[in-house]
Amino acid sequence: MSEQLRVFEQRLEALNTALMDPALGSDVSRLRRLSKEHAHVSQIVEVWQDTVRLEAELTETREMASEESDPEMRALVRAEITSLEEQLDARTKELKLLLLPQDPHEGRPILLEIRAGTGGDEAALFAADLYRMYSRFGEAEGLSFDVLSSSEISVAGSAMGFKEIIASVSGDNAYKLLRFESGVHRVQRVPATESQGRIHTSAATVAVMPEPEEVEVQIDPKELRIDVMRASGPGGQSVNTTDSAVRIVHIPTGLTVQCQDEKSQIKNRDKAMRVLKTRLYEKMEAERHAAEAAERKSQVGSGDRSERIRTYNFPQNRLTDHRINLTMYNLDRVVSGDLRPVIEPLMAHHQAALLAEQGHTL
């Protein structure tokens, strides 16, 4: 273990030197990458050094206990041994998690895409409920939401629903906290449009897509068809009186993106390009990891938006996550943004699966 620790200590020294290079200021991408690695490696070194210290203290204290003849002092030493064992166990578990392979998407902003599925107007209302749930959760977690594109509809006179909404979510933990939300979310409740009080089942799909680095997705302008048009549907002042809406088609793949939320054609074009690059990156990643994903039976979902992952039953105030057989009876709190009790078990399940792959357990 000491040799492995030394490897990390040497890497930390190399990172400290690299980060002091004045030329690094002109290479933002490399600076971000090195800073991220430095934070991770320094945490590993700190926890590992603490583990080594606790092991030494525990060995020394056990020797004292074996040599101590006074009953009262022996009891005190044994209490100290118990305390050290608990601390060592906690730090060892923490170290195991830190040594897991890092997801390359950690720390990146993501695109959160929510679409109404089966269920007509009720599905659109549910899509809006999901977006509010995520945005409230994000606000509590220090995440920032920026709507890039939305298609709103008015339901039951005044309620507003979404056929589709795409938002950029930024913050160090955006991907970490929301990565397991991709899939089909099913709702069971009495719709606002239901006069007989019958419970209906509707659905919305959620996709969580990490935004790519600039160098990861290169698009040839010749492969794009860009159309401008007048925005349609409800909107703010001037939104549908000027040719501000932009539709971009990536000819080789057929991927199409349209943005119309901004009054400025340039802003809509920039937002549409961000969405297009992210969807292209998602497509590339899906193709690259298709075989690997098929082999990993224990993972928490595939991230495929066609997979039914969760049911929201309003009459029973019940939420069920089908991937880990989690059932909770606090749906009212969850849809108000209290998502931690749902997300943390998913994260723990994923970490346990990764540890099992490496032959470890917590």
Exposed/middle/buried for 261, CB within 10 Å: 0-12, 13-18, 19+? buried
What's the confidence (pLDDT) of residue 299?
45
Q: What local confidence, expressed as pLDDT, does residue 120 receive?
A: 87
Task: Output the tens digit of pLDDT for each of the chain's 362 residues.
Answer: 567 788 888 999 999 999 998 888 888 878 888 888 898 899 999 999 999 999 999 999 998 888 877 888 888 988 999 999 999 999 998 898 888 887 888 888 999 999 999 888 899 999 999 999 999 999 999 999 999 989 888 876 667 899 999 999 999 899 999 999 999 999 999 887 666 778 989 999 999 999 887 767 888 889 999 998 877 655 444 445 567 889 999 999 999 999 888 888 889 999 999 999 999 988 888 877 665 555 444 445 545 556 799 999 999 999 999 999 999 999 999 999 999 999 999 999 988 888 887 766 65
* Residue among 157, 130, 154 at smallest CA distance from 233: 154
Architecture of domain 219-288: 2-Layer Sandwich (3.30)
User: Residue 237 has what pLDDT?
Assistant: 45
Residues whose CB falls within 8 Å of the CB of residue 22, separated by 6 or more in sequence, listed in order: none
Neighbour count for residue 5 (Cβ, 10 Å): 15
pLDDT of residue 287: 78
- CA dist 272 and 330 (Å) reads 37
The reported pLDDT for the residue numbered 325 is 94
Sheet holding 110-116, edge to edge: 144-155, 159-170, 110-116, 200-210, 183-189, 308-313, 318-321, 326-328
How do the domains of the chain map onto residue ranges? 2-98, 110-215+302-357, 219-288
Class of domain 2-98: mainly alpha
Angle 28-67/2-19 helices, nearest 10 degrees? 150
Residue 295, pLDDT score: 47
DSSP-derived letter for residue 196 is: S
CATH of the structural domain 110-215+302-357, one choice from 3.30.70.1660, 3.30.750.24, 3.10.129.10, 3.30.450.270: 3.30.70.1660
How far apart (Å, rounded) are the C-alpha atoms in residues 290 and 44?
31
DSSP-derived pairing of the beta strands 183-189 and 308-313: parallel
User: What's the pTM value of the predicted model, to 2 decimals?
Assistant: 0.78
Q: Cα(61)–Cα(68) distance, rounded to whole angstroms?
A: 10
Q: Give residue 298's pLDDT.
A: 43
